[in-house]
Structures are given as C-alpha cells and as structure tokens.
Amino acid sequence: MAVQISPSILSADFARLAEEAAVVHNADWLHVDVMDNHFVPNLTLGLPVVEALLKATSTPVDCHLMIEDPDRWAPAYAEAGAGSVTVHAEAAKAPVRTLRQIRAAGARAGFALNPATAVEPYEDLLGEIDMLLLMTVEPGFGGQRFLDVVLPKVRRARSLIAAHGGQVWLQVDGGVSAETIERCAEAGADVFVAGSAVYGADDPAAAVQNLRDLAERAAR
C-alpha cells in the first residue's frame, strides 16, 4: 500500500485557495472539509466553492463531508468531479445507497468514523467502501491534538481490511504531523490528512515531502 498525503485546505488561506492548492503540487490529494455547523460546531464551505476549486486545480479533490444530511448532498460532490467523497457513519441514514451513488457518479466512496465510533459494526460494508477514514480528533477544527486512543482501532481496521482483500484505503485525519504520522503508519494507515502541519509550515511542499518520507519509512 502506497503512502498518500492529503493536505487539508482548512488550514489554508480561504481567500487564495487556488494558490494554496498550487503550493502543495507534490500532494496526492487536496482534502476539503465541508462543515455545516450542525454535524460539527463549525461552518466552512459547500458545493459552489468545491466546484470553483475543481476548476482551479489538477490535484484530485478529497471531500470530507461533516454535515448532517450526507445522503442528500454527497452525490452532487461526486457529480461535480471530486475524486473522493467521504460521508460520516454517525450522519448517514442510508449509507449503502449513498456510497453506491458516490461510486456511480465516478468518485471513490469514503466512510468516516469519529474517535468513539467502533469499526467492527461496519465490517460488512467494506465491500461498498474505497476508503475508511478514522478521525484522530473530534471533527470540527484544525490544529487539535492527536488522539492516541484511536490507534488500536487503526490496527483493528487494517486487520479487517486485510481480511477483506486489502483494497480499501485507510485514512487518518486530525493532529497528523511529523510527531504523530509514524505511529499512524505503523498502525496501518496509508492516507494521511494534514492541515496545520502542512499549511502552518514555512514551506508547505517540503512539509508534504517530510510527512511522506516519515510515513514510508515507518510503514516498511
């Protein structure tokens, strides 16, 4: 499994999104946090901004929907051209239908779990999922402290994924930095979201490269 880095534009300058996307030219994805002030206590951006960003960048866009009604909204992000669309287990009322609609619209289907949500009840859904996202902070804000309590779940998720053929990517999001990324890679994560650790750095592209090097070494 190849290491992939997905910088979160939540920590970028929202007034200069196209330039901020271009700065991380060596990233595999651009992670876009859609927050509705209901599922999480923060409000960011929605489909019109994602559509504008898609026109402004050639980097694949990884939409993380932290919204109350993902069943209603997720397919439109896939239809707009996002490469990956992730919905939360705690919010989706018809996840099988929604994940299938995301795939049918041509995007990878992601399924996210908050820190306190167990992975085992969703084992039978792994065939419907292209990426499992395990939150390593409570969702809502960038710059929070990494929650080590999630690491055993990362290991268990990696085992479940391996038992189901190993095709599903395992993403971690929240507090991922040069201090914490090796622990995540050792536990089995292969897609790493980093907001403040990338956009808070003097040289965001160098930060992406450093995170990639650390994760690749730890995964070996």
- Of these residues, 36, 62, 173, 190, which one is catalytic? 173
- Shortest distance, position 149 Cβ to ligand DX5, whole Å: 15
Q: Site for ligand DX5 (CB under 6 A): which residue of 106, 143, 152, 166?
A: 143
Residue nearest ligand DX5 (C-beta atom):
195
The answer to whether 71 and 100 are in contact (CB under 8 A) is: no
* C-alpha distances out from residue 33 to 9, 49, 58, 111, Å: 8, 11, 18, 14
Which parts of 42-71 interact with ligand DX5 (CB under 6 A)?
A: 64
Amino acid identity for residue 16 in this structure: R
Q: Is 139 in the site for ligand DX5 (CB under 6 A)?
A: yes
- Which does residue 194 touch among Zn ion, ligand DX5, none (CB within 5 to 8 A, set by kind)? ligand DX5
- Binder among 3, 4, 5, 11 for ligand DX5 (CB under 6 A): 11
- The verdict on 174 binding ligand DX5 (CB under 6 A) reads yes
Q: How far apart are CA 197 and CA 57, in angstroms?
A: 21
Q: How many CB atoms lie within 10 A of CB 58?
A: 8
- 190 flagged as catalytic: no
Amino acid residing at 53:
L
Using CB under 6 A, which of 100, 144, 160, 183 touches ligand DX5?
Answer: 144
CB of residue 165 vs ligand DX5: minimum separation in angstroms? 27
Tokens of residue 217, six digits? 């070494």
What is the distance between the alpha carbons of residues 68 and 73, in angstroms, rounded to a whole number? 10
- Give dist(CA 53, CA 58) in Å, integer: 9
Contact with ligand DX5 (CB under 6 A) among 23, 61, 107, 176: 176
Please give the Cα distance from 174 to 166 (Å, whole number).
23
213 as an active site residue: the answer is no
Catalog residues that contact ligand DX5 under the rule CB under 6 A.
8, 10-11, 31, 33, 64, 137, 139-144, 173-176, 193-197
| Residues designated as active site | 33, 173
